[in-house]
Structure 1
Amino acid sequence: MDEAALLAFKDKMIEDPRGIMSSWKESVSHCNWLGVSCSRRHAGRVTALDLMNQKLIGTIPPDIGNLTFLRRIDLRANRLRGNIPEEFGRLFRLKRLVLGNNELEGEIPRNLSSCIDMQYLCLNFNRLSGRIPDELRYLVERKLITFVVGWNNLTGGIPNWLGNGSSLVNLELQQNNLKGRIPAELGSISRLELLHIGFNKLTGRIPSSIYNLTSLLSLAVNGNGLHGKIPPEIGNNFPHLQSLYLGQNRFSGQVPHSLPNATRLGDLFLERNSFTGSVPANMGNLMDLTKISFSVNQLQTGLDGLSFLTALTNCTKLKYLDFGYNIFRGEIPASVANFTNLLRILSLAENRITGNIPPEIENLNGLQILALYNNSIDGEIPHGIGKLQNLTYLYLWGNSISGAIPSSLGNVTQLLRLSLQYNQLEGNIPPNLGRCQQLQALALSNNNLNGTIPKEVIGLSSLSLYFGVAGNSLTGPLPLEVGNMSQIVEVELFDNSLTGEIPSTLSQCLMLVNLDMVGNFFEGSIPPSLRTLIGLVYLNLSRNRLSGQIPIYFENFTVLEKLNLSFNSLEGEVPHEGIFRDIKRISIMGNKELCGGIKELGLLTCKVHDIKKRRKLPKLKFFIAVTISFLIVLTCFIVVVYWRRKSRTRPSVALPTEERFQKVSYAKLRHATGDFSPSNLIGQGSHGFVYSGMLDGNRQVAVKVLNLNQKGAFNSFLAECEVLRNIRHRNLVNIITVCSSIDFTGAEFKALVYDLMRNGSLEQWLHPGENQLDVPKLNLRQRLDIAIDAASAIEYLHHHCQMSIVHGDLKPSNVLLDHDMVARVCDFGLARFLRESTNLDASQCQANSSGLKGTIGYVAPEYGLGRTSSLQGDVYSFGILLLEMFTGIRPTDVMFKDGWTLHEFVKTARHKSLVKILDPSLLSMEHPVGIDYGQFSDAGTVRFEENIANIMRIGVLCSAKLPIERMDMTNALSKLCAVREKLFRCGM
């Protein structure tokens, strides 16, 4: 029996990349199989199953319940899916159950309480939902030592019966969706050593009984909504405490001066609260301290200034020190040099610190991040800072630092971000900064720098985020080496005295989004080569000495939101198309020789010879253009004639069953759905109802029953059949079969049968109803994956089918999520084939539909003007869907009226405020906490904000009002994939 159970387990494994089950053969005793241990007293009975970290993919079969002699199961760190089988309840000898770090879902089985000898229960890092079963109370009251279910989607409150766990040592419930107050009964678990309940939705105060847990080694309540004051004697209550996490709550009052009495503390995090007063003077008593963060509070210095830093130098294990965003005053003591080489992060940013940067700071050889920005520090940057070989982030902006930029910074070859803007630096930009071959962002704006821009610096190919030298007194030409920054996103050169022509090599910076060159002395014409910078969103060339005509290629810059060419010497006709049709997005004043353009510009009409001069084509080009146009028209004519003839002889629309599906009877569907019971109703649309059911006794299905009395329902049925018989894609809903019959009353009956999507629709996750308030919020990775899945489906319909297909009704309720949270687009009732030749540009083709069809808020605005269905209409719907996913706001919200739309709402938000319009649940789950390093914050914060801006930009571009300004789905999909790869490749 045990061998059969193990073979059933093996059969459920889809992948075994490490081949641990290759030894599981019937020719060998199962007691000799890898990962299997057997009893010595009871021959052949399995007592342990250890398959930890084997990268297994599959489900746990119920047969595991037959291994009744099991005492230990360790399946952690695999990719096991599905539910935890209830048959685990048969394993009454089980002492240790470890299923953490998998992809298990569903509820925690209640009958685990039958495992009466259970001592260790670990289910963390899965996708479990529901409440913690009260039945587990029996385990807690007996022998359970470790109860770990953190990092799931559990709901409800913290059960007070956990306080009965007389044997409990470890209790970890953090990173769930638990609500309510912390039960005072938890203070009764006298042996408790680890209590982690952080990152939930807990409110109220910490019960005083918790402070009686004198055995605690680690206490984490961070990331909740707790308030009140921390007892002054907390340090005396926890003599063995090694880590204390109270951050991201609403605690107030003073930091308890007894904290240093908990001498074993290693991690101390009180960040993002409302603590006042001073830092305890005797912090140096914490000899085991490795990380300390008091950032984002209202702490102040006492009479002894920043002497607490001197005290902390006694903590010889310290790696992380963050006191940023408080109200500290005084000078940084020279004693900071006494920190050991273990110190990696030092942040005193956003305070009121004065004086110089102590030269002794050069002794901190291990320092990786130094953040002193937004203080009142003066003096010069110590030359010895070049000795900090491991420094990657240096943030000194927003101070009063003077003198020259030390050339020794060129020795810091690991530097990724250098931010020195808004100071009083002078002299030249050191050319040997070009030795920092990994530098991604360089910010030197708003200083008193002079001289030229070194080609060694602007030629750094690693510069990919930002290059800013604006607001200085730089002279000379812009070096040709600027083209080496091929991945740069933002370049700011404004308000200098740069001369010469705009280098044509700038065209190699293909990733440029923002280019600001206003207020210099650039001359000559705008280079034709800049036509490659089609990703520009903001371009400012005003207040220079540019001449010649405005390049007509600017008409093709579909994502350009602002173009400023004012106060130059430009001449000739102003283009009419693209961005030039919106006077709010262009500025051309101060160019006296310009003419033409749209009438709102109020310019003089161009003379005939000027127009001819601009628009005249060489005879050869004209002949080629006419020939190509004739061939296209001829091709279109042939294709139209072909399709018309074919459509006359083509039979009526075939149901998908004619090719690969077997029809199912009305009676069978009626039985499968419990006589179409209201309790099985899972959705309702404009043309019918959707029921869940069990087909053939073992397959969960969704049955879409058409309401044939509803106008358009029959055509919707035919359209969906026609589309589904021609497509197959992992992100499109999978049709099982179809029913076209009559019901028991003799009325016509039509239904489509699909695989049931167990996680419902995206609509339910974004906007849960009153009876769905416990639905966990989607995190950033899930939303981005779902957006990419939906984009993949639409891109497939548009560009990879034999004939392009317009979906016609893309919205959250038509995006379903399967058991792995993979998105599948459904409901093709409004879908249309594009009948035009595939030789034509698909984005210009239109479907043979009429009238306004779709859902208000998601339907493209041109449909309301009588335009027929088009691919660009789907792109608009996808753009709105994308914006809704990340803002959490419906396009039909009451705030949108009088022409104000979700598109306009996001578009008007500046880069730095995009985070403010995000769905609040995203910020609580994803936004990095602790140090905030300003314009170039720490890697996690910067990556988060930059990529949120990129996602929003894609949504705005897809939902542009004019179809011609929208990107196609291929481009949108590519950009979203690039965002995902950039955002998560470092494991954010």
Structure 2
Amino acid sequence: MACCTHIAMCSISRNYTDRLSLLEFKRTISDPNEALISWNDSTNFCSWEGVLCSVKHPHRVSSLNLTNKNLIGQISPSLGNLTFLKVLILSGNSFFGEIPEYLGHLHHLQILKLNDNTLQGGVPSLANCSKLKELWLSKNKLAGQIPADLPNSLQKVILAANNLTGTIPASFANITMLKNFTCMNNNIEGNIPNEFASLSGLQQLQLGDNKLSGDFPQIVLNLSKLVVFSVASNSLSGDLPANLGLSLPNLKYMSLGGNFFHGHIPPSISNASELIILDMSRNKLTGVIPSSIGKLQKLYALSLEFNKLQARNKEDWKFMDSLANSTELQVFTVLSNHLEGNVPNSLANLSSQLRFLYLSKNQLSGDFPSGVAKFRHLVSIELGMNRFTGVIPEWLGTLKYLQRLTLGYNIFTGPIPASLSNLSNLNVLQLASNQLDGHIPSSLGNLQTLEKLDISNNNLHGTMPKELFRIPTLLKILLYSNNLDGPLHPDIGNAKQLTYLDISSNSLSGEIPNTLGNCESLEDIKMDDNAFSGSIPTSLGNINNLQILNLSHNHLVGSIPVSFGSLKFLQQLDLSFNQLEGEVPTAGIFSNLTSLWIDGNIGLCGGELAMHLRPCPAMQLNSAKHKHFIVLKVLIPLTSIASLVIVISVMLFWRGKRKKENVPLPSFDRKFPKVSYNDLARSTEGFSTSKLIGKGRYSSVYQGSLFEDRIVVAVKVFSLEIKGAQKSFIAECNALRNVRHRNLVPILTACSSIDSKGNDFKALVYKFMPQGDLHTLLHSVPGDGSTSTLSHITLAQRLSIVVDIADAMEYLHHNNQGTIVHCDLKPSNILLDDNMIAHVGDFGLAMFKVDSAVSSFGDSLSASSMVIKGTIGYVAPECAGGGQVSTSSDVYSFGVVLLEIFIRRRPTDDMFKDGMSIVKFAEINVPDNVLQIVVPQLLQGLHLSMETPMAIRDRDSEAQILRSVINIGLSCTKTSPNERISMQEVAAKLHGIRDAYLSRNLWMS
């Protein structure tokens, strides 16, 4: 009996130890997402989040999996007390500090995953973990050498993306079960040990981006089960083995790029018939491409760029004939080699699935390769730096997926094909250094995703089309060394994203538009060697990011703007050889004579003494001008103030009278059908609560069916007994009666009548949105009877939703009928149809802006009010105290909505207190910890077991998409309204991100 009691007490003690160890782990970390909220006394610890207990030992922890929980802190040594632990996964968090050596005491441990954190120190000794099968430590900040005493039971060792040094231990040969050794992106030296030849089961060996040296590791040829092999971006050299393809029958991925291999490509490579990706780029390979290369029928990507491979005759080009057998080929690049002559017609026989074709930097000649026309899925074509002649074909405009077209540095002649304007996905158009003539087609302005336009060094003439400046995504314009003439259109001020403008060496004339100063992103402006006249716009001094400004060799007059001296990033300023006069400033760039050129302006004076300019004459104040100054600065403002007082008095008097009058229904166009109170009552079963689908501040919304075809509608009935409801009704009528956009909730009609009791009745009828509002979709709890799907929809669908909202807001802010400020943008005012297309609604607080005046739709006068317009959490800081609303305040609300969609937390969440907000929460996690704060479902697929370079690139690309989107949200939610980007910029950026993501997925599909 005593013995049994002792055993029971030991069991209780061990159970208690596991629970205490978990609580100690929790105590030492931060859990901002409350992922461990279930770790409390009311729940058995075997049911806690991420915890599993052993079947044989029900009260002992066997697995702890806390992937992507946004946990922050150091890993507690207490986990070393979980002696029955088999699985420990803490991937995708923000753990820092060293890995506790106590983890090496877990004798039952089989899987240890600590990847995607910020852990430091060395890899601890795990020699006692004799059952360990998988060790994942990639994407941390680990340093030191790879331990030589890793357990022999290991099957996967993933150490990529750390700061590990030293050599690969020869003792790895003892890990006979090893299938995957991934150690890319470290600082490993030496070569692969010869002892690796005994690892007959090795399937993945990835050592790219290290400091390996020596010849090609011959022992690799003994690893017949190898599927993935990468030693890219090292310092390996020598010839490639002649039998390279004979010994690796299972190889699917081989990357040897970025080394110093020389000699020929071994023809035996064609025997590795399972190859999908072959990368031999950036070496010193010579000779011809083996004509048998086409035996690789499963080849998806072939990269031979940046070598010294040659093709001079028909025999050398036979590889192109052979590649017709590679029916899966989508990426083919031989740029920067020694290929000569005409591209053979057999190019057209390549796979019709080809998406990337790179032939630049060779000595190719003849007309544009006609075979390219067959490749309807092409995303990128690069033919630059060759000797192609003839005209650029019009059929290029039919390649609708094309994103990049570079044909520069050839001898193409004729005009720029107008058909290029059909390439709606084009990001880069590079036609520089040819012999093109004619005008720049104004239709290029249709390229609404274009980022870089380079048509420099040609024979183009005519004016610069103003349509180019309306491309919202345009970053770089290079049109130098042409024969362009005429003025620079003021619309250039619309190019808000422009960072680089080079229009030098043309014949452009007229004054430099003052609107150029609106291009606040500009960093480099080159307008020299033209015929510009007039003064230098002072607005250029507002371009805070400006680094280079060259206005030399023009006919500019007047003085140098003093504001140039305040541009803190300005590195080069060339104003030489104009007709400038007056005093040279001395601040900023003007004190750095090695970065300033002003010679050739005989009217300049003063400046730094080292300039040796003549002194400026003393200026006397003209008495007549002085009197005029007093009139302008003193008398006119006093007169204006007096007038303003009178106007305000009249307005307030009229406003008081108007409040006593009834507010009529705004006149609608004839196309709006008439409905009565009885029609609406019948359609909603007497406004039954069973038909109630929403309730707001001033109204209730019911589902009904109306008109002859009984279409489903949403009837918004205003609660007129509530102060402000009538004004809200009028505002919404006026806001929606003249606007039409696919992403605004369509209004069908309105009703202003009396109800069955003789009371005023006002309602609006909208098209019904089956998926409901965004707030419900975002925050409904599974099992609550809702139809929420957003927590499970894809990243692509989320991107489309924010693009839809951005398009609607851009239309409201920038449509031709004036500016509409929504004033209450939030998820509950965003509705989704059957196709998950988002529609912005509820314009009850909307304001109308004409020029600088902002007016409420419910009141034709602008009035100051201390009432907050909008909803707490979404209201911009400047409006929280009743300040003036503006389009910038809408932008702020949009930014909060965007963050809420991707982070899936309300801005009023309980975690946002003590100065923390959803905006600050995003700020402190950008860029390093973005993946820890986004909706967990978006991370599915970002942690692949096969860490090939392509898999890592895809994962990083998707992660970058998320970072870019969150950054846009932060750009919208700057504290100062002047620092926020416009909805035009927002929409352009989001369109670019979504389209790039969709096209990348299309390429990968």
Q: Does 1:360 align with 2:366?
A: no
**Structure 1 residues 8-28: Cα deviation after superposition (integer angstroms, max 9, x where no partner):** 335534355665534444444
**CA contact under 8 A between 2:213 and 2:234: conserved in structure 1?**
yes
Distance 1:280 1:618, change over 3 A: farther
Query: Is the CA contact 2:255–2:278 (under 8 Å) kept in the aligned structure 1?
Result: yes
C-alpha deviation, 1:190, in angstroms: 1.4
The separation in 1 between residues aligned to 2:142 and 2:449, in whole angstroms, is 42
Q: For the residues of structure 1 that align with 2:17 and 2:521, how far apart are their CA atoms?
A: 59
Seen in structure 2, the aligned counterparts of structure 1 residues 426 and 89 have a Cα distance that, compared at 3 Å, is same
Deviation digits for residues 357-378 of structure 1 (CA, Å, limit 9, x no counterpart): 2233233222222222111111
Q: Does 1:536 align with 2:536?
A: no
Residue in 2 that maps onto 1:548: 558
Take 1:6 and 1:596, find their aligned partners in 2: how far apart are those partners? 80
- The residue aligned with 1:121 is 135
Shift in alpha-carbon separation, 1:421–1:3, aligned structure 2, 3 A: farther
CA drift at 1:493: 1.4
Which residue of 2 is the match for residue 385 of structure 1? 396
Please state how far the C-alpha of 1:394 moved relative to its aligned partner.
1.5
Deviation at 1:574, TM superposition (A): 4.5
| Number of residue pairs aligned between Structure 1 and Structure 2 | 637
If the length of structure 2 is used for normalisation, what is the TM-score? Answer: 0.58
Aligned-residue RMSD, C-alpha:
3.7
Question: How far apart in 2 are the matches of 1:2 and 1:151?
Answer: 38
Query: Which residue is equivalent to 1:516?
Result: 526
Q: Which residue of 2 aligns with 1:964?
A: none
Task: Tell me which of 334, 343, 364 is aligned to 1:332.
Answer: 343
The offset of 1:620, in angstroms, is: 4.8
Which of 449, 465, 478 is residue 438 of structure 1 equivalent to?
Answer: 449
Matches within 5 A, 1:876-915: none
Within a 5 Å distance, the mapping from 1:214-613 to structure 2 comes to 214-301=224-311, 303-304=313-314, 305-340=316-351, 342-464=353-475, 466-575=476-585, 578-581=588-591, 583-595=593-605, 597=607, 601=611
Using the alignment, how far apart are the partners of 1:58 and 1:340 within structure 2? Answer: 51
| Cα pair 1:572 1:610 within 8 Å, conserved | no
Shift in Å at residue 434 of structure 1?
0.3
Partner letter of residue 479 of structure 1? H
> Which one of 1, 6, 9 corresponds to residue 22 of structure 2?
9
Counterpart Cα distance in 1 of 2:207 and 2:226: 14
Q: Report if the CA contact (8 A) 1:221-1:246 is conserved.
A: yes
Give the direction of change, closer, same or farther, for the CA distance of 1:434–1:202 in structure 2 (3 Å limit).
Answer: same
Give 1:328 deviation, angstroms.
Answer: 1.3
The answer to whether the Cα contact below 8 Å between 2:312 and 2:341 also exists between their aligned partners in 1 is no
Give SS of 2:396's match. Answer: helix
- Contact 1:540 1:564 (8 Å CA) reproduced: yes
Q: For 2:266, give the aligned amino acid.
A: P
CA–CA distance in structure 2, aligned partners of residues 571 and 131 of structure 1: 66
Contact 1:306 1:330 survives alignment (8 Å): no
Letter in 1 for 2:390: G
Amino acid at match of 1:261: N
Aligned residue number for residue 165 of structure 2: 155
3-state SS of 1:89 partner: helix
1:40 to 46, 51, 55: 55
CA contact (8 A) 2:216 2:239 kept: no
Q: Following TM superposition, by how much is the alpha carbon of 1:86 offset from its aligned partner in structure 2, in angstroms?
A: 2.4
Tell me which amino acid in the other structure corresponds to 2:132: M
- What is the CA-CA distance between 1:499 and the residue it aligns to? 2.0
Deviates more, 1:68-77 or 1:348-357: 68-77
1:864 maps to what in 2?
A: none
CA shift at 1:422, angstroms? 0.7
C-alpha contact (below 8 Å) 2:21/2:81 kept by paired residues = no
Matches within 5 A, 1:448-847: 448-464=459-475, 466-575=476-585, 578-581=588-591, 583-595=593-605, 597=607, 601=611, 620=630
Segments of 5+ residues of structure 1 without an aligned counterpart are 625-928, 931-938, 948-969, 976-980
Partner residue, 1:885 = none
Q: Which moved more, 1:371-380 or 1:88-97?
A: 88-97
Q: Report the Cα offset of residue 54 of structure 1.
A: 3.6
Which residue of 2 is the match for residue 857 of structure 1?
Answer: none
Q: Is the 8 A contact 2:436 2:458 kept in 1?
A: yes
Displacement of 1:423 after TM fit? 0.8
Query: 2:285 & 2:224 partners in 1: Cα distance?
Result: 24
Match of 2:72 in 1: 57
Residue 191 of structure 2, aligned match among 162, 169, 181: 181
Aligned-partner residue type, residue 113 of structure 1: A
Partner secondary structure for residue 134 of structure 1: coil
Q: Which deviations, in whole Å up to 9, do the C-alpha atoms of 1:513-542 show, x marking residues without a partner?
A: 222222222222323433323543332223
Distance 1:441 1:540, change over 3 A: same
Distance in structure 2 (CA, Å) of the matches to 1:329 and 1:277: 13
Whichever residue aligns with residue 499 of structure 1, its letter is S
- In the alignment, is the contact (CA less than 8 A) between 1:359 and 1:384 conserved in 2? no
> Where does residue 119 of structure 2 map in the other structure?
104
- Measure how far apart 1:229 and its partner are: 1.1
Q: Distance in 2 between matches of 1:508 and 1:129?
A: 48
CA-to-aligned-CA distance 1:630-684 (integer Å, 9 cap, x gap): xxxxxxxxxxxxxxxxxxxxxxxxxxxxxxxxxxxxxxxxxxxxxxxxxxxxxxx
Distance 1:164 1:552, change over 3 A: closer
Whether contact under 8 Å (1:9, 1:61) holds in the other structure is no
1:575 shift after superposition: 4.7
The separation in 1 between residues aligned to 2:520 and 2:464, in whole angstroms, is: 21
Q: Structure 2 CA distance, aligned partners of 1:504 and 1:152?
A: 51
In structure 2, relative to structure 1, the CA distance for the partners of 1:611 and 1:195 (3 Å cut) is: farther
Does residue 78 of structure 1 match 2:93? yes
Residue type of the alignment partner of 1:99 = L
Aligned residues of 1:390 and 1:412 also touching (Cα < 8 A): yes
* Secondary structure of 1:313's aligned partner: helix
* Local SS of the residue matching 2:121: strand
Spell out, residue by residue over 1:394-448, the C-alpha distance to the aligned partner (whole angstroms, 9 max, x if none): 1111111111111111111111121111111111101110001121211111001
Q: Which residue of 2 aligns with 1:134?
A: 148
| C-alpha contact 1:515 1:539 (8 A) present in aligned 2 | yes
CA distance in 2, matches of 1:463, 1:617: 49
Q: Measure the CA separation in 2 of the matches of 1:205 and 1:370.
A: 35
Contact residue 24 and residue 78 of structure 2 kept, 8 A: no
Q: Which runs of 5+ in 2 are unaligned?
A: 1-13, 635-948, 951-955, 965-975, 982-988, 1001-1005
User: Conserved in 1, the CA contact under 8 Å of 2:120 and 2:143?
Assistant: yes
Asked whether the 8 Å contact 2:107–2:131 carries over to 1, the reply is yes
* Larger CA deviation: 372-381 vs 127-136: 127-136
Distance between the aligned counterparts of 1:252 and 1:458, measured in 2? 48
Query: 2:585 and 2:555 mapped to 1: Cα distance?
Result: 20
TM-aligned CA distance change 1:90 to 1:442, over 3 Å: same
- 1:205 Cα deviation from its structure 2 partner: 1.8
Q: Distance in 2 between matches of 1:61 and 1:534?
A: 48
Q: Show CA shifts across 1:71-101 (max 9, x none).
A: 3333333333333222223322222323222
1:66 to 81, 101, 108: 81
The one-letter code sitting in structure 2 at the alignment partner of 1:428 is H
> Match for residue 203 of structure 1?
213
Residue 119 of structure 1: CA displacement? 2.4
**1:366 is paired with a residue of what secondary structure?**
coil
Which amino acid is the alignment partner of residue 5 of structure 1? Answer: D
Take 2:586 and 2:58, find their aligned partners in 1: how far apart are those partners? 88
Q: State the secondary structure of the residue aligned to 1:385.
A: helix
The counterpart of 2:104, out of the listed 66, 86, 89, is 89
- Residue in structure 2 matched with residue 863 of structure 1 by the alignment: none
For the 8 Å contact 2:25–2:79, the answer to whether it is kept is no
